[in-house]
A = this chain, B = another copy of it.
């Protein structure tokens, strides 16, 4: 059995705070500052340029990729770190479209994170080849997977509602009509028991600053299935994806396998922080994680439905059909969330009316859930959110 009390002790949560926003930005792993300090003073400071070899910097992108691979059910050697999630979406999509040149439809859903859709839109305009970004309701994806579709571009968990797509079934459906799949794991990597290889996913991408606790703006990752890894053309063909980066040839030759999805110089300080964060996952069984996550979300849901009838559930009621978050609709959700934050219960708000709460078993337990419910009940039943200062909008919500 995974020891979640032990993992909880690895994170710094400020006194009195109940942090239910690990689905937006994970908390600081206690070991991360020292790890980054070491990378700065002992590696960068003392080794300087030789750190690329001596400190193993050049291999970090694939080394940490292998650590992430274990958490998402991917084959070793098929995940690499780098760039941001938006860039990785673009990279996967550009490659996938070339693999289906005769098809023009990218299928996505209205629950996808907007940046994924924006990147697709930008790529389509650049290509000028008549591609269409077809956006349907999340529950209609399956029906729209037809022989027109080149690739599906789906975030496994809807960032607003927490609704979970059936990766295995949709991938099988896509393959049955000759379409490819790109899975965005932003809200599932480290949150559910993702099984990329078992599902037969073609591409997957994700970020590491949410459930993986890598830090604000931590590097993204990309997965390419073994079947495609040595044949896919990297559209973002940077020098670190070259077969021989330090030969400095004028022409590009793609590197072997996942190496070709590397682009520019890897962000060593950010990778050091992520490296420390990934230590927390040693000894965590992803099946245990999923079970514990479902217990927590179920407890939260049952308590709040009983105590706060003014909140409307926006997440699926069946825990098997959602990720590791619970969302409620409430017309005054923005000031309500500000009132909660002022009282140390940190969730977040997503327009137009979603109050979102994330539950990550690595540092949230049942006691936290019950304490959060007490505060939420007090704020909601007392109408404590209806104060001018809670209505003032910040730049980032």
Contact = CB atoms under 8 A, between A and B. Distances in A.
Nearest to A274: B269
A38 to B, nearest CB: 10
Interface string A107-133: 000100111011101110111110000
A341 B216 CA distance: 36
A121 B87 contact: no
A122 B234 contact: yes
A98 interface: yes
Contacts of A184: none
A12 to B, nearest CB: 5
A27 interface: yes
A90 interface: yes
A247 B217 contact: no
A135 B250 CA distance: 9
Interface residues of A, number: 93
A227 interface: no
Given A114-B239, A237-B119, A84 B263 contact: yes
Contact of A265 (B85, B237, B351): B85
A385 interface: no
Contact of A83 (B50, B57, B84): B84
A294 B323 CA distance: 60
Interface string A16-59: 01010100110110001100110011001110111111000110
Contact of A269 (B58, B114, B217, B249): B217
Interface string A227-257: 0000001111111101000111111100000
Given A127-B127, A248-B350, A268-B217, A235 B122 contact: yes
A46 B19 CA distance: 11
A382 interface: no
Interface in A53-70: 53, 57-58
Contacts of A265: 84-85, 207, 209, 216-217
A100 to B, nearest CB: 14
A215 interface: yes
A395 interface: yes
A96 to B, nearest CB: 12
Contacts of A53: 394-396
Contact of A236 (B25, B90, B264): B90
A346 interface: yes
B264 A85 contact: yes
A263 B87 contact: yes
11 contacts: A25-B49, A27-B45, A28-B48, A36-B36, A50-B341, A52-B216, A117-B252, A126-B127, A127-B127, A217-B268, A220-B264
